[in-house]
Structure 1
């Protein structure tokens, strides 16, 4: 895990990691309305290719670059938000 400097280089601060932000990210990427804090990304129909879209969104939004292994370890919005916060 490493902190991405893209947001800082663009002159903006990364957003604070929060569960609701990650829930919204899952909804957008998966095109599913029924996502809660403990919804499993893969049980909602996500796969490894779509997970890379979430990881890209995490990097853009929160300034943190997580690995796919990180995502596998934290496939719910709540756990992913915690992992983002810990990486900062």
Structure 2
């Protein structure tokens, strides 16, 4: 899953624009309930299931895309 795709997921779930590769999900107003929507979208679109702990460790599109790529290997 590309960084651009993760940025699109963040924008869609958070209902906001201006997402950059280093935008922090939680600083943008995301919370644990909304994070589950991101994780569901990631699983649906990439086939990779990540935990909430994975998401906490990688709360930006760039870091999350790297984590997805690593898990997909």
- Aligned pair count? 72
Counterpart position of 1:64 = 48
Q: Give the distance between the partners of 2:18 and 2:51, measured in 1 at CA.
A: 25
- When Rg is computed on C-alpha atoms for both structures, the one with the higher figure is 1
Task: State the TM-score, normalizing by the size of structure 2.
Answer: 0.98
Runs of 4 or more above 3 Å deviation:
none
TM-superposed deviation, 1:51: 0.0
Structure 2: any 5+ residue segments left out of the alignment? Answer: none
Structure 1: any 5+ residue segments left out of the alignment? Answer: 1-16
Counterpart position of 1:83 = 67
Task: State the TM-score, normalizing by the size of structure 1.
Answer: 0.81
Higher helix share: 2
CA RMSD of aligned residues (A): 0.3
